[in-house]
Amino acid sequence: MKVNITKWSSVSTWHWDVNEECCGICRMQFDYCCVDCKVPGDDCPPVWGTCNHAFHMHCILKWLNSNQQQQCPMCRCEWQFKSDQK
Amino acid sequence: MASGRYAKRLQKELQEIQKSPPHGIMIEEANNLDRWVVQITGTENTLYNGEKFRLQFRFNSEYPLESPEVMFIGVAPIHPHIYSNGHICLSILYDAWSPALTVSSVCVSILSMLSSCTEKVPPVDNQYYVSRSIGKTPKDTRWMFHDDTV
């Protein structure tokens, strides 16, 4: 038997590879965007600190910019962006 | 504030705390999302066993980047770090605030501060402090945190 495919539509899903479900600052899921963005995806990525805690990039930047102490909100260690992100 | 960008986070917190409140903690009022009243009940086998107190939380539009204003309303517990006007000397409410803290975790911290108390005495500078902070928010006080034992 021979089948000719005349048309097919593909469907795919994506998600960020983050251990935690929610951003500890805005409490939105990482697969949604932060409160200031409208569209999830590459424009609103999660970022990791060297302590391995993850937040929306926009959320952690807002926290670091609004605070003299540059600490991770979760563990209070000095915040440094992890360079080799997944 | 209910229109603030983080209103969703507050709504989520409210739902979670109402669905599964931590022991000794109950939301008494949150009709208006920017002012909550939380009832806390002193833990068994502590000096405050069964005593009920009311905590007021006020959130500005920057919460959780900024700490909420938290104080006792009505009768405040007699405690070395709690002033009779309801202001609470607790670092996480001021300098040591973190946006990862929540209403629930703040209430748990305050309850544990009560639980670890060994003597019901007011702060040594209570009268002086209270007379100087009439009409002021505790967030404007320049707190010194020097005693981690109580």
Instruction: For the domain covering B4-140, report its CATH number.
Output: 3.10.110.10
Domain boundaries, chain A: 15-86
Q: Is the pLDDT higher at B81 or at B5?
A: B81
| B:36-65 residues touching chain A, CB 8 A cutoff | 62, 64-65
Say what the pLDDT of residue A68 is: 84
* Interface contact flag, B99 A76, Cβ < 8 Å: no
Q: Name the fold adopted by A15-86.
A: Herpes Virus-1 (3.30.40)
Q: What is d(CA B44, CA B28) in angstroms, rounded to the nearest whole number?
A: 21
ipTM exceeding the 0.85 mark: no
Alpha carbons B108 and B17: distance in angstroms, whole number: 12
Rounded Cα gap, residues B27 and B55, in angstroms: 10
Q: Are A80 and A31 in contact (CB under 8 A)?
A: no
Beta bridge partners of B27: B38
Instruction: Report whether pLDDT(B150) > 70.
Output: no
The more confident residue out of B66 and B1 is B66
Active site residue B89: yes
B3 touches chain A (CB under 8 A): no
Is residue B45 very low, low, confident or very high in pLDDT (cuts 50, 70, 90)?
very high
CB contact under 8 A, B98 and A76: yes
Range B113-133 average pLDDT: 95
Q: Sign of the CA dihedral B10, B97, B107, B126?
A: negative
Q: pLDDT tens, A16-66?
A: 988 888 999 999 999 999 989 999 999 999 999 999 999 999 999 999 999
Touching A: B residues 62-91, CB under 8 Å: 62, 64-66
- Dist CA B8 CA B67 (whole Å): 16
Candidates B8, B13, B100; nearest CB to A73? B100
Size of interface A-B (CB pairs under 8 A): 36
Q: Which of B10, B40, B89, B113 is catalytic?
A: B89
pLDDT of residue B144: 82
In angstroms, rounded to a whole number, what is the distance separating the alpha carbons of residues B130 and B48? 23
- Residues sharing a CB contact under 8 Å with residue B27, sequence separation 6 or more, in sequence order: B14, B17, B18, B21, B36, B37, B38, B39
- pLDDT score of B2 more than 70: no
Tokens encoding A64:
């670091």
The number of C-alpha atoms within 13 Å of B149 and in the hemisphere containing its C-beta is: 3
Residue B128 has pLDDT above 50, yes or no: yes
- For residues B112 and B146, the model is more confident at B112
pLDDT at B145: 77
Percent of chain B with pLDDT over 90: 83
| pLDDT value of position B1 | 44
Cross-sheet strand order for the sheet of B35-41:
B25-32, B35-41, B52-58, B69-73
Q: Do B9 and A35 make contact, defined as CB atoms within 8 angstroms?
A: yes
Residue B25 phi, psi dihedral angles, 5° rounding: -130, 130
How crowded is residue A3: how many other Cβ atoms within 10 Å of its Cβ? 5
* Nearest chain A CA: its distance from B91 CA (Å): 14
What is the domain partition of chain B in residue ranges?
A: 4-140
* Closest residue on chain B to A68 (Cα): B95
pTM for the whole structure = 0.88
